A and B are shown apart, each in its own frame.
Chain A
Amino acid sequence: MTNNNSTSVLVVEDDHLVCEMVIGILGELGYDIVGEAADGHNAVEMVRLLKPDVVVMDIKMPRMTGIEAAILIQRHFPTPVVILSAYETQDLTKRTSEAGVGAYVVKPPKANDLMRAIEISIARFADMSRLRKQNKELQEALETVKQLTRLLPICTNCKKIKGNDGCWHVLETYLQDRSETTFTHGLCPECIEGENQ
């Protein structure tokens, strides 16, 4: 038995005996079966409630298919999903991938194959999460740069800058808030001369 105690799994399968098989294999692999669902609709609800580390799910089920459920899970409760199906077509593989499914295993699975699929799905999900985070940060950074590269309205008298919020900001503060710039303070030769006079 492999020790996978820390990984909780939700099994979604409408066939009782197949469900027995999946639970049996996952049990041997040491996964923690936190729940069973018999259709896609139940699966989404149980993901929301149980927050499993990974979902092992059939495709063809009553009420809601595994692909439809995977899309909803990725959209609302991002969780790694492994599809377990007796069907094996390129079109189906493509559709599951587009639905955000991390791995696809054909029934009946070998224990190692199922475990590897779960690991890949989790790792891929982590990568995706990281990439999503980085993407978000980059988007924000880009937004800041955009703010600094556009035309800036500046008061000719007091040199304050009008921000996107419509308020007038002191130049120093405006730039510090929107860039990595840090200001040191001093006087230029012309101002020194002006001070002396």
Chain B
Amino acid sequence: MIDTSKLIDLLTSESAGVWEWDLETGYVEFNDAWKKTMGFRCSRAGHFTIDFWLDLLHPDEFVSIMHEIFRCRDGLIPVFYSTHRLMKQSKDWITVLSIGSLIHSEEDPGSNTFLCTQFVVSEKASELGYLRFQRDIGIVLSATTDLNVAVKKSLEAILKFNSNIDAGGVYLLNHETDTFELFEYSGLSEHFIEENRLVPADSTMGILIRSEGPVYFQYDDYSPFPQEHEEGSQLLINAVFPMKHLGILEAALFLASETHTDFPASAFDGIEGVVQNISGTIGRIRAENRMKASEEKHRILLERIESPILAVNADMKILFHNKALETIFDCRFIGNHDLFSVFDAVFARFLTVNFAKVLTSGNHQRISIDHGTNIWDIVFSSVPNGAIAIMRDITTSARAKKELDFKIRIESLLVDISTGFIKKHGAALDSGINDALFEIGSFLDVDRSYLFQVDNKARTVSNTHEWCVSTVKPKIDKLQDLAFSLIPWWMEALERHETLNITAFNELPEQALVEKVILGQQEILSTVVIPIVQGKNLIGFLGFDSILIAKKWNKDIIDLLRIVGDAIGNALERNRMQLKLQMMYQKADKEAKTNAILLKEVNHRVKNNLSEIIGLFYAQIRFIKQVNNLNDFLPDMISRVQGLATVHSMLSYSSWEPLKISELARQILSNTTSAIFGTKSISSIISDTNIKVDSRQAHSLALVFNELVINSTKHALINSDKLLIEVDFHHDGSGNIIIKYRDNGPGFSEKVLQKEQSGLGLSIITNMISKNLQGHLSMFNDNGAVTEIVFQERQRNEGSELK
């Protein structure tokens, strides 16, 4: 039984004050009771810090109290419990009991509040054991996380401490139904419990519970109570204490007695402080319970997710994983695992690195990784005190995307290459083909790419371009001018414009025995060969060999490679045509230039010939005046002009290239003697020789030969019907040409030999040899007239263009 007097002493003591220290903001809030106790105005407002409260401590106790409060704040001790002195507004000292504890906020589990209840105690109250009572409750409340235990123990302590109270109970508010449910009780009859288990919010009790502060009943007034307690007895409810945590109504405590009806309100002052403490604890535990319930819901939810989920704490210890992770990664979790004991080293390192990034930055990140046979898209996010990774298997979509990307890239590459060939020719085309083989070969990951060109006339193929990886030996030098018959099956297929897609040797048909051997010698595991066709003709083929690892080719890639083959084929054909055109153009250009030169030369020669004819006339005029003989004028002039025409014709025919001197003599002799008719017989022996004379010399010699023949026919046939003319040519060994002309006539007259007589013919012969040929003339008789001409052989034809 509680000592009533002691309780009265306690209840009549100063009212309890409460202060809350928000550790997030650093601000301290004091309730009105505290302010009233300390002599401050209740309306006093403003931001207070813990320093304000510490400043009120007695200097002798300042250090120890502050030390205890901070230890409790830092979680080193569960409860701050101390009797000490505080300075009131009036500068008087007051002794108080402070009980404080760290309270976790429900809304924000990361933020904390230090809640402290303060009782003003007298020497008398402490003697009554009130301090022990308060301490016991404080220890109970701070030590438990079980709401039942906390409420039951608190209720028992209150009933034990207050001997006038026979019964009491605690209602908890069900937030979902907005109904108060009797949670814990003591001293209540079954009947009462049955009747009052649920209190609707709109009932009398419900309304009372929702009051701002405690409600005390004086049974000398009208009251909705007493309630029937047991048969024949009543239970008088003396006080109802709404229990709020952080301003939110969580529960209510009611105290009752069977007999006592006239408690003064002040009798419950000490209880109010305890109730506040209990309220805080109830609120905290309920919040924790709600959080646990919420966590459980999330845990169930996470368990049901089919994607693997993994959560770690700041020390990279695995806090949570779901079934999917266990199943998919085939790992077992027993005890506290770190990542490296569950996953292989590479994946564990990957997870560690990314968890660390998220833990450091607080930002989530998304990364894809190839792991084993799968591709994972993993989202790393930070959670309180750790980080979580949600893994999504994107193997199928990633592979599809990879294939699509590959296709797009190779399409783009091949289109670029094919387009590039449009403008290439000559050396640029060779370089372009080499670049294309390199780009395609390296992109498609083959070991060798090559181009063979076909010589359809010779029925051979030659490797003209090649690229290969550094570990493979080039073969281009050895693969030249290979006959079709060396690789018959291969070439027949290509000539049918078929693509060869050889993925394994054993797939080759029996007819490809030779090819099997050749490919085996070159250690080629797989190859694809694309024919290059122009019109209906195979002009070459592109090949892509895999030597290190066999490669399988899909149809799309082969189709794209055929486009490249077509582009290369077009470029090669265009290049071939261009070269042909170029050669034709060069030939035409050369011919045009030659013709232009010849035309100028013809023009020059014609003018020269005309000048010479005019000169002949002037010379003839001069000689006619001297000898007054016109008989031979016309035939001689005709013969001379014909001589000029003959040599002009021969030179034109040879494009003014040097003429064989014997042929020139033969032609002139033939022309000159053809005009002689009748019984006269003229024969000639002209020695054959390879000696040639240039155009100028030929021109002069033609006139000389003409004059010599005219002379022979005039004189040698006077007493004879037969004329024999012999012409002989030879070198003298010192760069001179010697012509010996002789006939079988009577020979030169003495006057001619003595140079006492000279006609136009002799004048022409003399001057042509001395001036035009810069040579030497000898005339003598030796069984006929003999004329010997010596002149220097010119090494080259004198150019028609003047230098």
Contacts and interface: CB of A to CB of B under 8 A. Distances in A.
Interface of A: 14-25, 38, 59-60, 62, 65, 86-89, 92, 106-108
A14 B700 CA distance: 11
B696 to A, nearest CB: 9
Interface string B752-779: 0000000000001001100110100000
A16 B764 contact: yes
B614 interface: yes
B802 A92 contact: yes
B803 to A, nearest CB: 8
B802 A21 contact: no
Nearest to A60: B802
B105 to A, nearest CB: 108
Contacts of A86: 603-605, 607-608, 611
Nearest to B760: A20
Nearest to A65: B802
Contacts of B614: 21, 24, 108
A24 B618 contact: yes
B767 to A, nearest CB: 4
B422 interface: no
A18 B608 contact: yes
B616 A17 contact: yes
A19 B610 contact: no
Contact of A23 (B605, B611, B618, B703): B618
Contacts of B608: 15, 18, 86, 107
Interface in B584-616: 600, 603-605, 607-608, 610-616
A18 B617 CA distance: 11
Contacts of A59: 802
B640 to A, nearest CB: 9
B621 interface: yes
Given A17-B768, A18-B612, 13 more contacts: A15-B772, A16-B772, A17-B619, A20-B615, A21-B611, A21-B614, A21-B618, A22-B615, A60-B798, A60-B802, A62-B774, A86-B605, A107-B607
A17 B764 contact: yes
Contacts of A87: 600, 604, 802
A8 to B, nearest CB: 20
> 5 closest Cβ contacts across the A-B interface?
A24-B618, A17-B615, A21-B615, A20-B615, A16-B767
Nearest to A20: B615
A61 B666 CA distance: 28
Nearest to A66: B802
Among B615, B619, B767, the most chain A Cβ lie within 10 Å of the Cβ of B615
A77 to B, nearest CB: 24
A123 B764 CA distance: 36
A58 to B, nearest CB: 10
Contacts of A17: 611-613, 615-616, 619, 703, 764, 768
B621 to A, nearest CB: 7
B612 A15 contact: yes
B295 to A, nearest CB: 106
A88 B767 CA distance: 27
Contacts of A20: 615-616, 618-619, 622
Nearest to A39: B774
Among B614, B619, B767, B803, the most chain A Cβ lie within 10 Å of the Cβ of B614
Interface residues of B, number: 28
B704 to A, nearest CB: 11
Interface string B618-643: 11011000000000000000000000
5 contacts: A15-B772, A17-B616, A17-B764, A60-B798, A106-B607
A11 to B, nearest CB: 12
A24 B614 CA distance: 9
Contacts of B803: 65
A25 B621 CA distance: 12
A39 to B, nearest CB: 9
Contact of A108 (B607, B619, B771, B802): B607
Contact of B615 (A24, A62, A88, A92): A24
A16 B767 CA distance: 6
Contacts of A19: 615, 771
Among B605, B612, B803, the most chain A Cβ lie within 10 Å of the Cβ of B612
B802 A18 contact: no
B771 A38 contact: yes
Contacts of B617: 24
Given A14-B772, A17-B764, A20-B618, A107 B611 contact: yes
Contacts of A38: 771, 774
Nearest to B803: A65
Contacts of B610: 107-108
Nearest to B774: A62
A25 B618 CA distance: 8
Nearest to B608: A86
Contacts of A88: 603
A62 B700 CA distance: 14
Contacts of B619: 17, 20, 24
A16 B761 CA distance: 13
A57 to B, nearest CB: 14
Given A16-B767, A87-B604, A21 B612 contact: yes
Among A20, A21, A60, A89, the most chain B Cβ lie within 10 Å of the Cβ of A20
Nearest to A15: B772
Contacts of A60: 798, 802
Contacts of B611: 15, 17-18, 21, 86, 107-108
A179 to B, nearest CB: 53
Nearest to A38: B771
B764 to A, nearest CB: 7
Interface string B59-81: 00000000000000000000000
Contacts of B603: 86, 88
A158 B622 CA distance: 82
A18 B774 CA distance: 16
A86 B612 CA distance: 11
B626 to A, nearest CB: 14
A15 B771 contact: yes
Given A19-B615, A60-B802, A24 B621 contact: yes
A86 B617 CA distance: 19
Interface string B690-715: 00000000000001000000000000
Nearest to B612: A17
B705 to A, nearest CB: 15
Contacts of B613: 17
Contacts of B604: 86-87
A21 B612 CA distance: 7
A86 B604 CA distance: 5
A141 B767 CA distance: 55
A14 B697 CA distance: 12
Contacts of A65: 802-803
Nearest to A36: B771
Contacts of A21: 611-612, 614-615, 618
B645 to A, nearest CB: 14
Given A92-B802, A107-B611, A108-B610, A14 B771 contact: yes
Contacts of A15: 608, 611-612, 615, 771-772
Contacts of B600: 87, 89
Nearest to B763: A16
B521 to A, nearest CB: 67
A59 B799 CA distance: 13
A19 B771 CA distance: 10
Interface in B783-803: 798, 802-803
Contacts of B615: 15-22, 24
B234 to A, nearest CB: 147
Contacts of B607: 86, 106-108
Contacts of B774: 38, 62
Among A15, A23, A62, the most chain B Cβ lie within 10 Å of the Cβ of A15
Contacts of B621: 24
Nearest to A95: B802
Contacts of A18: 608, 611-612, 615
